[in-house]
């Protein structure tokens, strides 16, 4: 694929960043290298059949000064996120960093390791634990802590513990209230759409390089391995709760509804160390993540950080988190937490101040800049979240997607609007000329807007696809956020060469088997396509192990599910929950399950075919930059 150099406007914009920030301040580099023990002997972490799960040398190109195709601020962040290996950050606390998108932290207990956040994938977690055992001495894992309900903090758990040891009570897994519900629900009902959008957010399918992937801001890249989940055995509900784990005291602070719907932070009084989880990291985080998720509560987020300052700042010498590098020194940590608190407070208060003046979701992002006290702090810069999209999120949290203007309340769908607009502007050639003029002047936001109309009016227009790709590419080159760079560059790539199917394995049997019958039935409702069934019918599921029963009713355009019924249906299935999930995951067929004696049917067996035949399969590679 042909990738363009930076245009003059892009090179100029990127050079201007050098004057904006204090690149002479090397404190972060010192912190990110402090306590280095060793790194992996191999350049890659591999999985089954030698498949590369994580390439530790992928960002080795990020040396020296930034090329003009990468925003220098993002280049700096990428350099920091490329410093990988095992680090001892306190005599009893060790981290394996940048061998996945997130960090794994090991606490030395009296007899073994307490693992905080076993990364995203089984392969990277296993390799990280092995690295620590090799250099720090072999120890058993005696406990696991999941800081929050996002997959990059639990997905590798089967790489560090056996489920049998957890079930036998030998290895507790500690997690915040609501963990399982949110770990699963975020990934199921809207899962396919979220996975596709995540390809954009994380730039999956982009090659790394000065004109390609330059990290994700929050970390280098997500491991492309297998994701697992073992349910927690010990739930923390309230701030102030404490545990003693393998001789190590831990005090918890709840942070549900901040960076994740289920999240806590915790403090180690013996070590004067605070684990900030993902509430405070070395960037402005997402209020609404581009992949999609529930909007986060910005004011609540600021208040949690304020509470952390009150509870822990005075007695903290070391702060570490689930991403990025630690910091040392009570005064520095207090300053960092104070600026992080004020950052989220600023995004919240300023958005609403301007909204209350009548400005809208489309206007406020261009009206605000970070204030003087925050602008020069690298940890407040938008490498992952950005001020612009976070402002939109706060607006949406309080006021919704509508800007309040009646003219925008019932807009035409994109392709229909585009067709009319192209016609009104005098046809495709006139729109293309305007797009070219804007591109030549470096007016890329306008070029992208107008060319998008042309692409949606006529996706066969090769000149429009090419110029739109060139435009998005320059926007990517200028972006300070890793997420934005990925979004723009993947858009450019897909316009030029079509969609590269993601190599990331998102199917996750642990999620399937842990989602519970209720959520699974709701998901069937999402997949149900009424146009595919000839008429109404009912299926009753009697679960022989749980004693629960659920009636599925295909009617009124939905697949309703209810536990309220009279025990009759067109088809009655008696089965175990395990059989139900095997059927659902297409791990076993009906005949197999009948043969195993864990499923039986009474009534009209054709209704089972009707039910499964009515479920849509979702295309994981649906179109985004074209209609």
Note the residues at the interface with Zn ion (CB under 5 A).
Answer: 102, 150, 152, 278
Pairing of strands 85-90, 93-97: antiparallel
b/e per residue 11-39 (b: at least 16 CB within 10 A)? bebbeebeeebebeeeebeebbeebebeb
DSSP 8-state symbol, 249 = E
Helices (H) and strands (E) in the chain, counts: 21, 21
Q: Which residue blocks in 400-506 are alpha helix, DSSP H?
A: 414-424, 428-440, 444-457, 462-478, 482-497
Tokens of 309: 């300052």
Closer of 154 and 200 to Zn ion (Cβ):
154
3-state secondary structure of 512: helix
Closer of 308 and 474 to Zn ion (Cβ):
308
**Number of other CB atoms surrounding residue 72 within 10 Å:** 20
* Distance of closest approach, residue 358 Cβ to Zn ion, in angstroms: 37
Whole-number Å distance between alpha carbons of 79 and 29: 9
* Distance of closest approach, residue 81 Cβ to Zn ion, in angstroms: 13
3-state secondary structure of 373: helix
* Distance of closest approach, residue 262 Cβ to Zn ion, in angstroms: 13
Closer of 276 and 520 to Zn ion (Cβ):
276
Cα dihedral sign, 386-392-394-396 = negative
Residue whose C-alpha is closest to residue 348's, from 393, 281, 404 = 393
* Distance of closest approach, residue 152 Cβ to Zn ion, in angstroms: 4
Closer of 152 and 470 to Zn ion (Cβ):
152
Residue partners of 510: CB distance under 8 A and separation at least 6 = 158, 227, 228, 229, 230
* Distance of closest approach, residue 323 Cβ to Zn ion, in angstroms: 6
DSSP 8-state symbol, 178 = T
**Number of other CB atoms surrounding residue 335 within 10 Å:** 14
Closer of 85 and 217 to Zn ion (Cβ):
217
Cα Dmax for the chain: 76
Whether the CB-CB separation of 217 and 383 falls below 8 Å is answered with: yes
DSSP 8-state symbol, 83 = -
Closer of 102 and 108 to Zn ion (Cβ):
102
Closer of 13 and 216 to Zn ion (Cβ):
216
Angle between helices 414-424 and 444-457 (to 10 degrees): 100
Closer of 202 and 346 to Zn ion (Cβ):
202
Closer of 45 and 218 to Zn ion (Cβ):
218
**Number of other CB atoms surrounding residue 88 within 10 Å:** 18
Closer of 7 and 105 to Zn ion (Cβ):
105
* Distance of closest approach, residue 219 Cβ to Zn ion, in angstroms: 8
Distance set, CA 503 to CA 143, 204, 380, 625 (Å): 32, 8, 33, 20
* Distance of closest approach, residue 477 Cβ to Zn ion, in angstroms: 26
b/e per residue 458-475 (b: at least 16 CB within 10 A)? bbebeebbebbbbbbbbb
> Nearest-CB residue to Zn ion?
152
Closer of 70 and 260 to Zn ion (Cβ):
260
* Distance of closest approach, residue 31 Cβ to Zn ion, in angstroms: 19
Q: Which residue blocks in 105-251 are alpha helix, DSSP H?
A: 122-136, 163-167, 179-188, 191-202
* Distance of closest approach, residue 616 Cβ to Zn ion, in angstroms: 31
Whether the CB-CB separation of 265 and 308 falls below 8 Å is answered with: yes
**CA 188, chain centre distance (Å):** 14
**Four-point Cα dihedral 208, 209, 212, 213, nearest 10:** 40
Closer of 321 and 454 to Zn ion (Cβ):
321
Size (the chain), residues: 627
* Distance of closest approach, residue 101 Cβ to Zn ion, in angstroms: 7
Residue whose C-alpha is closest to residue 22's, from 69, 64, 72, 94 = 72
* Distance of closest approach, residue 284 Cβ to Zn ion, in angstroms: 14
Closer of 71 and 102 to Zn ion (Cβ):
102
* Distance of closest approach, residue 102 Cβ to Zn ion, in angstroms: 5
* Distance of closest approach, residue 384 Cβ to Zn ion, in angstroms: 9
Closer of 278 and 577 to Zn ion (Cβ):
278
* Distance of closest approach, residue 150 Cβ to Zn ion, in angstroms: 5
Distance set, CA 463 to CA 131, 278, 467, 496, 528 (Å): 51, 44, 6, 11, 39
**Number of other CB atoms surrounding residue 615 within 10 Å:** 17
């Amino acid at each position: 694929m042909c990738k363009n150099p930076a245009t003059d406007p892009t090179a100029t914009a990127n050079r201007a960043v050098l004057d904006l920030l204090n690149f002479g301040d090397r404190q972060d580099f010192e912190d990110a290298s402090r306590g280095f023990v060793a790194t992996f002997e191999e350049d890659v972490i591999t999985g089954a059949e030698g498949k590369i799960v994580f390439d530790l040398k992928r960002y080795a190109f990020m040396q020296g000064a930034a090329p003009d195709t990468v925003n220098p601020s993002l280049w700096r962040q990428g350099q920091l996120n490329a410093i990988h290996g095992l680090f001892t950050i306190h005599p009893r606390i060790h981290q394996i960093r940048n061998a996945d998108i997130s960090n794994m932290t090991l606490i030395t207990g009296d007899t073994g390791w307490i693992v905080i956040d076993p990364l995203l994938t089984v392969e990277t977690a296993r390799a990280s634990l092995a690295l620590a055992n090799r250099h720090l001495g072999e120890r058993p894992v005696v406990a696991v802590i999941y800081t929050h309900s996002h997959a990059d903090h639990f997905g590798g758990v089967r790489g560090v513990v056996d489920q049998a040891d957890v079930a036998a009570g030998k290895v507790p897994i500690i997690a915040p209230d609501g963990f399982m519900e949110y770990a699963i629900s975020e990934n199921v009902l809207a899962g396919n759409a979220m996975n596709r959008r995540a390809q954009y957010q994380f730039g999956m399918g982009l090659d790394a390089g000065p004109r390609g992937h330059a990290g994700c801001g929050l970390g280098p890249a997500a491991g492309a391995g297998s994701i697992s989940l073992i349910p927690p055995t010990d739930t923390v509900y309230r701030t102030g709760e404490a545990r003693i784990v393998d001789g190590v005291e831990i005090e918890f602070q709840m942070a549900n509804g901040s960076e994740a719907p289920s999240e806590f932070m915790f403090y180690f009084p013996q070590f004067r160390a605070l684990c900030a989880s993902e509430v405070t990291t070395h960037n402005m985080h997402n209020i609404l993540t581009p992949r999609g998720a529930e909007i986060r509560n910005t004011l609540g987020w600021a208040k949690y950080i304020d509470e952390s300052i009150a509870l822990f700042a005075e007695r903290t010498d070391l702060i570490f988190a689930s991403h990025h590098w630690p910091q040392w020194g009570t005064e520095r940590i207090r300053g960092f937490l104070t600026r992080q608190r004020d950052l989220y407070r600023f995004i919240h208060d300023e958005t609403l101040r301007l909204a209350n003046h009548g400005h809208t979701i489309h206007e406020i992002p261009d009206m605000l800049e970070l204030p003087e006290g925050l602008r020069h702090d690298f940890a407040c810069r938008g490498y992952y979240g950005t001020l612009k999209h976070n402002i939109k999120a706060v607006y949406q949290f309080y006021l919704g997607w509508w800007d309040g203007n009646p003219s925008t309340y019932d807009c035409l769908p994109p392709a229909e609007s585009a067709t009319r607009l192209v016609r009104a502007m005098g046809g495709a050639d006139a729109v293309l000329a305007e797009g070219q003029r804007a591109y030549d002047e470096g007016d890329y936001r306008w070029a992208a807007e107008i060319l998008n109309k042309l692409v949606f009016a006529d996706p066969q227009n090769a000149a429009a696809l090419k110029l739109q790709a060139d435009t998005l590419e320059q926007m990517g080159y200028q972006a300070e956020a890793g997420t934005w760079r990925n979004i723009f560059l993947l858009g450019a790539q897909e316009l030029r060469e079509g969609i590269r199917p993601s190599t990331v394995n998102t199917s996750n049997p642990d999620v399937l088997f842990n989602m519970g019958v209720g959520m699974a039935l709701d998901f069937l409702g999402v997949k149900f396509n009424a146009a595919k069934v000839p008429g109404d019918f009912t299926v009753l599921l009697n679960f022989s192990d749980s004693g629960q029963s659920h009636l599925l009713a295909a009617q009124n355009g939905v697949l309703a599910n209810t536990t309220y019924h009279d025990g009759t249906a067109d088809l009655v299935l008696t089965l175990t929950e395990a059989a139900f999930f095997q059927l659902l995951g297409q791990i076993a067929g009906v005949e197999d399950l009948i043969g195993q004696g864990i499923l039986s049917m009474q009534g009209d067996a054709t209704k089972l075919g009707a039910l499964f035949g009515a479920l849509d399969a979702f295309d994981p590679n649906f179109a985004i930059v074209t209609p």
